[in-house]
Amino acid sequence: MNIVQTVKDRLSDLSKNEYKVAQQVLLDPEAIIHVSTATLAKQANVSEPTINRFCRRIGCKGFPDFKLQLAQQLAKGASYVNSQIDDDDNVSTVTDKIFSSTLSALANTQRTLDHAAIEKTISYLKDARKISFFGFGASASVAHDAQNKFARFTTPAIFSDDVLVQKVAALNSLPGDVIVCFSHTGRTKALCEIAQLGYDNQATVIGITAKGSPLAKYCHVVVSTEVPEDTDQYMPMASRIAQMVLIDAIVAGFALAQGEEIKQQLARVKAGLKDSRFPPQ
């Protein structure tokens, strides 16, 4: 998947001159993209076929294929590389970095999504008697957002950012109720407690959280968002966004699972809100 990493990993498998090529590649991957075998050969002080052999060894079909993979890699990873915010960044730079790191976090999440878990989540939600959304801190607004979305449908959807209210709701849950818990790390103690209460009451507990985390233990389904740690510096940003988009996807899947009637319902809600807006010009 990650071609630059692959080159680094296989450095030891390479012959002397192939190694020279690798060095040249790692020196400035960006540059390789716009270069021909001939020029790269000259730069690395090897013959042209060696370039080709290098590409094959790395696992590519040939030099053009290698360039392509590199280009894709860099396009994706460009944001990762430079997403740390420095004290002397100006506003434009910071804005750009935030957007870029969010973009790459989302792209990463999309790539590593567990579709089976999502499918399972949707089928549980579809048959739910009642859906509760729980979370603390930054995850509270994710939970709030989720509740907002599900409010458009007919299944009762609740949310509170109050610990006690959440606890009571978990205590009063029954089989057939679904509890969705949000926590990026899965290590928030209060939330684990709540999840356990729901779990013990045989409600269905769904965790939008890290796999293998303490919270995950009390979940029937875990959907994780795989956002690299370093994207969230002082406060959760990218991870929160990833969770919200995940919920968007789940809501869309949920809506679709309901079939035709729900579309009319949604259209009705939209129409009903019309009067509270100025008409578009």
Partner DNA sequence: ATATTAATGTAATTAAATTACAAAAACGAA
Partner DNA sequence: TTCGTTTTTGTAATTTAATTACATTAATAT
Number of residues that bind a copy of itself (CB under 8 A): 77
Closest approach of a copy of itself to the CB of residue 27, in Å: 20
In the stretch 189-228, what mask flags binding to a copy of itself with x, by CB under 8 A?
xx-x---------------------x--------------
Could you tell me the smallest distance in angstroms from the CB atom of residue 48 to a copy of itself?
17
Of the two residues 57 and 152, which places its CB atom closer to a copy of itself in the complex? 152
Amino acid at 235: M
- Cα 246 to chain centroid, rounded: 7
Give phi and psi for 154, each to the nearest 5: -95, -20
> Could you give the count of Cα atoms lying within 13 Å of 227 in the half-sphere of its Cβ?
28
Indicate the residue among 2 and 36 with the shorter CB distance to DNA.
36
**Minimum CB distance to DNA smaller for 47 or for 112:** 47
Stretch that binds a copy of itself, among 15-23, 166-174, 200-208, 237-245 (CB under 8 A): 237-245
Considering only residues 126 to 145 of the shown chain, the ones binding a copy of itself according to CB under 8 A are 136-138, 140-141, 144-145
Query: Is 164 a binder of a copy of itself (CB under 8 A)?
Result: no
Cβ 158 vs Cβ 172: under 8 Å? no
Q: Three-state SS for 35?
A: coil
Residue partners of 218: CB distance under 8 A and separation at least 6: 192, 195, 196, 198, 199, 205, 207
50 binds, among a copy of itself, DNA, none (CB under 5 to 8 A by kind): DNA
Closer CB to a copy of itself, 14 or 191, in the complex: 191
Name which of 159, 207, 218 is nearest 185 in CA terms: 207
- 130-135, strands of its sheet edge to edge: 157-159, 130-135, 177-183, 204-209, 221-223
Residue environment code for 193-215, b if the CB has 16+ CB neighbours within 10 A, otherwise e: bbbbbbbebebbbbbbbbeebbb
* Residue partners of 163: CB distance under 8 A and separation at least 6: 136, 190
The single residue among 152, 167, 211, 220 that binds a copy of itself, judged by CB under 8 A, is 152
Residues 153/249, Cβ–Cβ less than 8 Å: no
Residues that bind DNA (CB under 7 A): 15-18, 36-38, 45-53, 55, 61-65, 67
Residue 74 contact partner, candidates DNA, a copy of itself, none, CB within 5 to 8 A by sort of partner: a copy of itself
Indicate which of a copy of itself, DNA, none lies near residue 245 (CB less than 5 to 8 Å, by partner kind): a copy of itself
x-or-dash pattern for a copy of itself, window 65-104, by CB under 8 A? --xx--xxxxxxxx------x-x-x-xx-xxxxxxx-xx-
- Residue 138: CB partners within 8 Å, gap ≥ 6? 184, 235, 236, 240
Q: 17 to each of 41, 142, 163, how far by Cα in Å?
A: 10, 53, 63
48 contact, one of a copy of itself, DNA, none, CB 5-8 Å limit per kind: DNA
In the list DNA, a copy of itself, none, the entry touching 59 (Cβ below 5 to 8 angstroms by class) is none
Between 17 and 52, name the residue whose CB sits nearer to a copy of itself. Answer: 52
Q: Which is nearer to DNA, 58 or 222 (CB)?
A: 58
